[in-house]
């Protein structure tokens, strides 16, 4: 009889625990089936591994420093997001991954990021296969096209690229893909959900 009562209590405890766990997870957005760990080179020329940022929300953005419009607009928007987050911004890191491996060397990335001091960003570069592997993980794309009228020797070309911002939770799981048109308020709210 006492064994039966003990078993009943154990089952009740386990059921309650399961319910609580399910309840806690219900508020989080679903885990998206993109992303994964990777290693690239940071703006100081040092190896950087995504998993080193566990415990932080990580925003991943693919761009290139010569970009005249989409990248400055998105980085400025991220600066506004950081300001909106207030003290919580200290737990948010941004990865600016260049898809222009030829021109965006670590020193170029380092200087470029000084334009956005509010954004706690790491600039990343690598070989073409390394960058292709990371864009592949996130389903991002880029395409280098020659600038009309410019000879190849001028080293001037355009880079079409995905402009989404991927938001990873503290476990490195991708929870949001913010499109280019996502507002500061939408991004701030989403990030708060996964902090």
Minimal distance in Å, beta carbon 143 to another protein? 6
Residue number, 52 or 155, with CB nearest to another protein: 155
d(CA 90, CA 130): 28
Give the nearest distance from C-beta 124 to another protein in angstroms.
17
Please report how close the Cβ of residue 74 comes to another protein at its closest, in angstroms: 8
Question: Cα 157 to chain center, whole Å?
Answer: 26
Indicate the helix (H) or strand (E) that contains 177.
Answer: strand 174-178
Residue count (the chain) = 195
Q: Looking at 134, 164, 168, 169, which residue binds another protein (CB under 8 A)?
A: 164
Q: Is 118 in the site for another protein (CB under 8 A)?
A: yes
Helix (H) or strand (E) segment spanning residue 70: helix 70-85
**In terms of CB distance, is 3 or 153 closer to another protein?**
153
CB of residue 144 vs another protein: minimum separation in angstroms? 11
Cβ atoms 179, 190 nearer than 8 A: no
Backbone φ and ψ for 143, nearest 5 degrees, come out as: -155, 125
Looking at 56-139, which runs of residues are DSSP E strands? Answer: 57-63, 92-98, 121-125
**Binding to another protein by residue 152, rule CB under 8 A?**
no
CB of 37 to another protein, least distance (A): 22
Distance CA 22, CA 9 (A): 20
**Pairwise CA distance, residues 186 & 148, whole Å:** 37
* Dihedral sign for Cα atoms in the order 81, 86, 91, 96: positive
Q: Report the residue from 13, 16, 183, 189 that binds another protein according to the rule CB under 8 A.
A: 183
Applying CB under 8 A, which of residues 117, 127, 136, 155 lies at the interface with another protein?
117
Q: By rule CB under 8 A, what string of x and - marks binding of each residue 68-107 to another protein?
A: xxx-xxx-xx-xx--xx-----------------------
Binding positions for another protein, rule: CB under 8 A: 65-66, 68-70, 72-74, 76-77, 79-80, 83-84, 108, 111-112, 114-118, 139-143, 145, 147-148, 156, 158, 160-164, 180-181, 183-184
């Amino acid at each position: 009889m006492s064994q039966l009562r003990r078993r009943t209590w154990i089952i009740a405890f386990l059921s309650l625990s399961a319910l609580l766990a399910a309840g806690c997870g219900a508020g989080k957005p679903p885990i998206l089936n993109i992303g994964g760990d990777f290693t690239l080179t940071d703006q100081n020329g040092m190896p950087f591994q995504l998993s080193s940022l566990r415990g932080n929300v990580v925003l991943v953005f693919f761009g290139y420093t010569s970009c005249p419009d989409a990248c400055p607009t998105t980085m400025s928007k991220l600066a506004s997001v950081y300001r909106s987050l207030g003290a919580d911004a200290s737990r948010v890191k941004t990865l600016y991954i260049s898809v222009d491996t030829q021109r965006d060397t670590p020193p170029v990335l380092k200087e470029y990021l000084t334009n956005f001091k509010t954004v706690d960003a790491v600039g990343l570069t690598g070989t073409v296969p390394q960058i292709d592997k990371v864009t592949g993980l996130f389903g991002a794309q880029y395409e280098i096209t020659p600038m009309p009228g410019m000879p190849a020797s001028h080293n001037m070309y355009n880079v079409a690229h995905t402009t989404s911002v991927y938001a990873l939770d503290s476990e490195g799981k991708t929870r949001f893909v913010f499109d280019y048109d996502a507002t500061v308020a939408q991004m701030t709210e989403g990030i708060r959900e996964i902090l």
